[in-house]
Chains A and B, each alone.
Chain A
Amino acid sequence: MIKQYRKWIAALMFISGLLAFTGGKLQAAQIKMTTSLGFGDFVIPGHWVPLRVQIKGGVDSARVEVIRYNEDENNPSREIFAVSNPAAGASQLEIPVLASFKVKRVVTRLYHGKQLLTEQSLNLSGKIFPGHLILAINLPAAEQQAIQKSLLPDEPVLAVPIQPEELPGSGLNYDGVSGVVINNPGLVLAPAQIKTLRSWLTGGGRLVIVAASQQPPNWVRRLAGGNWNLQPKGYQEVFPVGFGSLIIIHPKSDAAGILQFSGEWRKILNLKPYLQSLRISAGQCFPGPVTVKPGQKFSLINPLSLFFLLWVGAAVFLNLYQKKKPPLNRFLILTLFSVAAAVPLAGILAKLWKHGAAWHTQAVILPDGGGALVCANIGLYPSNESGVYGSPWGVTVTGPSDEEGGINFETDRESGRRMAFWRRQHTPSQYSLSAGGSNNLVLTGCFPEFRVNQTRSPSNTPDTPDPWLPQLLIPNETVSWDGRQWRLLINYSLNGPLWREISGPPQWFQDGVELMKRCQALFADTLWLGGRNRLPRHLCLKIQGSPIPEYFWVMPAPF
């Protein structure tokens, strides 16, 4: 009987084999994605700008990928993050994107699982504005025009009207903003917006509040801090906040028209030719990737080969010793011994090797507790480098706020080139991808807060207004530079710091010198301090399973 059907059975088996490993495909869902880049669709080259992505319904979980392509299509870099529950309504994402001079277009892709749902490409050519950008909320058109003409005939200024909810919630997105004018005294802002606004002010931003009433809201008072006056003095009040200023204007009826004069706005916003503008921003402090040299190289060949040689050798020996008896018991006993040996060996190898990554981190600590700008250059070893190989899972990075992400390389489906990517588990993340190369990747973060670690005894802490300062200023690991003379910190006590003049930057600070010079060039009258390895944990990224990397920090001296 079977012979009659054997061809059918063979066919059934063949088809079964083909179907065996095929899983179900997810169906595309109805989903809409809209994207916009910059403010008023304009981007400031060399600075961070917000990429706004709006996703409307359709799937319960999705993944957004942002890919930046350079003019020559070389070194595209990709940032990936999960979007939770867009089906519940519209999801609005504000993603900082570095519009470096090389970037030609930004592609945003939306995935559900492995399925590409939709894709949008934004071309940057024609949207570049290399000048001052002023954000204006509820400002009359005449005053916006006055701002735009304030530096004419030398250069135009771009005043972009925005809605209050468009004020950035991520500090990096203020990077290209020279000033903010708010003509809405009763405006309510989210706490994240207030924090980032203050951080931007301390770096040199200028915020102008046009207040018709005498009582600006609480958040304005908080921005002014201890400088707040209960009784306003005159038409214009200026509250210095770090390197920046909060300006409150009380336009009286007889002076209402003054804000329509370009010259007035030039003074209020302290506008100078764009290239002479002074502001600490991530785009200016961290202009490009730093070459990361691999640290200690470590070859896996010898210990692994030795282990496997012993492993197989022992198995062969045990089996040759008594050929006739079934060798299964011996295999299992050998496995027990091998596991016992593999556990400590694995620990040793993993620590020595660090998954093939090295990195170099720089930070600028903003004055007046305005937070910090941090830039991490991460170098993954190329797979063809002798003896050192990058992991196919890249590097797992843990960071502040329990955020976790992975860094790795993949081949871009469009250009076919190897590109770095930063995959983060949480949205939003404190860190954003600023550049990627064939073997390196740069993450930049803007932290609006600066807190101290609670690890040290308060008895060691001098009574200073900045309690974190003694933790940062470690003798022999802190230098100062005023543009002429380098000094090394000898001691820091209640009486203040004690310095010793040195001929140049010490060897251990060589990787931080460029950053200090860039900051000093921005604010030449300020004494700048620099050091290493003493940043609070809430600013630091960490490669999982590896020691804390070296950090170089600079900050304006608070004394």
Chain B
Amino acid sequence: MAAIIISEINGWRANFSRRTLLVLMAVTAICGSLAFLRPEYCLVILTGVFIWIGLVAGKQSWSEAKIDGWAIEGKKAPGLVFSGKLTAVLLITLIHFVVLLPALILTNAIWGIPWWILGETLVSYALTTVLMAALGMLGTLSFGDISEFPRKLFSALFLAVTCIPGLWDSNPVWQVWNLVTSKSPGGMVQFIPNLIVIVLLALVAQFCFPREAVEGG
């Protein structure tokens, strides 16, 4: 699994780190300058950046080897490869948080936003990124090498959670908005459903991989 994680991080570092980090910094800088770092605008807009990173990760755009490659050629269990790739996505997201740190310090000092809100927002970003990556990878895995799948899935999900009022709580943008404008800590319990879904997707990944391909390969 360590080899998968290292490979993923190396792939991101070589192929995509410049792009994702610069996009994150540029969006932060533009929002920060125009909206004076108002958290309820800047942090919500940054959700879009992390969703994008999750989608790119879901398409395995920066991966040196895709899941089926690891499973067939590397003889790894699909669930293990899937989990390794998601762990790598989580670590990559944490690297983005480090780069974001100066802006967070300024936001905290200028707007008086408590650190626990910023912490919960970062947890939300991390889970959103990993979840989008998981959905994208699983979709690609299930439907074959359909590069458009993550984008279509995200579009359908986003449309549903935006248009149906009862599902607004499921909207990552709405969730970050609620976190940022909340006045009391929600606690880590609120993230448990996301974690459960990610674990479930990892389990599904173990079984939905085309075994005949492995056997045949």
Contact B183 A16 (CB under 8 A): no
Interface string of A146-190 (1 = CB under 8 A from B): 000000000000000000000000000000000000000000000
The answer to the question of B86 belonging to the interface, with a C-beta cut-off of 8 Å to chain A, is: no
Partner of B197, one of A6, A20, A305, A316: A20
Contact B17 A326 (CB under 8 A): yes
How far apart are the CA atoms of A347 and B110 in the complex, in Å? 8
B209 to chain A, nearest CB (A): 7
By a CB distance below 8 angstroms, the chain A residues around B29 are 308-309, 311-312
Contact A23 B190 (CB under 8 A): yes
Contact A21 B156 (CB under 8 A): no
A311 and B25 contact, Cβ closer than 8 Å, known pairs A6-B142, A19-B170, A22-B170:
yes
A62 to chain B, nearest CB (A): 13
A335 and B98 contact, Cβ closer than 8 Å, known pairs A17-B170, A355-B112, A406-B183:
yes
The answer to the question of B21 belonging to the interface, with a C-beta cut-off of 8 Å to chain A, is: yes
How far apart are the CA atoms of A350 and B183 in the complex, in Å? 20
By a CB distance below 8 angstroms, the chain A residues around B175 are 21
B15 to chain A, nearest CB (A): 9
A351 to chain B, nearest CB (A): 9
How far apart are the CA atoms of A12 and B98 in the complex, in Å? 34
Most A CB within 10 A of own CB, among B143, B183, B192: B183
How far apart are the CA atoms of A305 and B34 in the complex, in Å? 8
Residue of B with least CB distance to A347: B109
Interface residues of B in 1-60 (CB under 8 A from A): 13-14, 17-18, 21-22, 25-26, 28-30, 32-33, 36-40
Interface of B (DSSP majority class): helix
Q: Interface size of B by Cβ–Cβ distance < 8 Å? A: 68
How far apart are the CA atoms of A308 and B25 in the complex, in Å? 9
What is the interface of chain B, defined by CB distance below 8 A to chain A?
13-14, 17-18, 21-22, 25-26, 28-30, 32-33, 36-40, 95, 98-99, 101-103, 105-106, 108-114, 131, 135, 138-139, 142-143, 153, 156-157, 160-161, 167, 169-172, 175, 180-181, 183, 186, 189-190, 192-194, 197, 200-201, 204, 208-212
Contact B17 A392 (CB under 8 A): no
Most A CB within 10 A of own CB, among B28, B106, B170: B106
Contact A346 B111 (CB under 8 A): no
By a CB distance below 8 angstroms, the chain B residues around A6 are 142-143
Most B CB within 10 A of own CB, among A6, A17, A423, A545: A17
Residue of B with least CB distance to A329: B13
